[in-house]
Amino acid sequence: MKQKIKLQTEKEIEFPARMFTEKDLSEMEIDSVKGKIFFNKIDKNNPFKKITAKVKKDMAILNYRDYSQTKFSETLLLENIKEQAESDESDFIILPHFKEENDFDVKIKIQIAGKIKKNPKIKKPVILEISHKCGIVHRELARLSDNFDFLSIFYGVYYGRYSTLTRISDRIVTFKFMTGKNVFCMGVPLKFEGEDIKDCRFMPCFILMTDAWVRNWKPARSSKDIKLTDKDDLKSKTYESWLENHGANQIIEPVKLTIKELFDPKHEKVRKEYEKLLYDETFLEVGSLDPSNIEKYISKKFANKYFVKILLPYSEKIIQQKFRNNDLFTDYSLQERLILEQKIRENQFSPSFVDGSINAIINKIRAEKNPPIMELVNTIEDFKVA
């Protein structure tokens, strides 16, 4: 489910978009990723690194000064905005998250964002970033959304919890429902608690939930136990846990070592290589999911309690792209479109239903040239029964 948009800087990017860092490109041994976002992160006091000509040509550049350990300062924020606005190596202006930012601070940021939007000399999209803990109610944030182009939600931890993901999922769904705008997520974890805090799962779910994301850059806590992610169920396991479902002498591809050898303390470098290869493979696997197979994959590979909270924002993206932004429905009145959308949303937890019901009414409109609204409602009902 791809969405292409053209920025005010004339660059075209494709959502969903993983944001790639310099380290990501180096590890992948590539120069750039066309149509994606280059996340040029730097600490608060250091100058931004120069961007290569290839990255500048192929990717949209987000210069991100990390203030997540710095208390809110309007002076620092304005200096950062000026730096981004004047840079010819930046395609966005982001108002980043600050440490312990409160709702009053966020409203100051929104006011400043509005001034940037009204400045005719600035031709860059504006990103408002808030913490996942932000207390501003959904309706108020939506009301103020004309002051910025994209919303970014800052997570900023290595290990995710169900309660936090639930809060972020609700924010994404509600904000997109109320505004139709794209949502980014910054510093997202790749590992989450499963059925309990000790059940560690590799779950790159933000690929599905949000429009653009970058993984957490803060270091993980050290552990006395050696653990590796099992490809079969994406659980992080000790050697003893691996042996519950595998033989000690089973060869692990593609590192060509047995499980017993791989857990040998001296093979730390090989373990890192294995994890990286597994991560990259899973990123591709999850990124290639579509409405017809996403539910089966999530129920098999991710912890069950996350099922609905991952699928709801995925379905919201389908509704925005294939229904709300589809010119095919413009001949129907607002009230008629609302009736259709309400019918589509009856099973929003099921992307296959949402996508299939929209496809069904699209096909009917194309075949019969704007049939009455109740016939389209009946088409959705028939699809549900089928």
- The runs of H, that is alpha helices, within 190-306 are 206-209, 239-242, 259-262, 268-287, 294-301
- Determine the residue type at 353: F
Question: Domain segments of the chain: what residues?
Answer: 3-215, 228-287, 326-385
User: What is the model's pLDDT at position 386?
Assistant: 63
User: What is the model's pLDDT at position 232?
Assistant: 93
Question: What pLDDT digit, counting tens, does each position of 316-374 carry?
Answer: 999 999 999 999 999 999 999 999 999 999 999 999 999 999 999 999 999 998 899 99
Report whether pLDDT(223) > 80.
Answer: no
Question: What pLDDT digit, counting tens, does each position of 191-212 carry?
Answer: 999 988 889 999 999 999 999 9
Pairing of strands 12-15, 3-6: antiparallel
In the CATH hierarchy, which fold is given to the domain comprising 3-215? TIM Barrel (3.20.20)
User: What is the model's pLDDT at position 46?
Assistant: 87
Residue 9 pLDDT grade (very low, low, confident, very high; cuts 50, 70, 90): confident
pTM comes to: 0.95
How many residues in the chain?
386
Question: What pLDDT digit, counting tens, does each position of 70-87 carry?
Answer: 999 999 999 999 999 999
Query: Alpha-carbon distance 145 to 98, whole Å?
Result: 20
Pairing of strands 17-20, 37-43: parallel
Asked whether 125 and 99 are in contact (CB, 8 A), the reply is: no
Average pLDDT, the chain: 94
Whose tokens are 């494709």? That residue is: 14
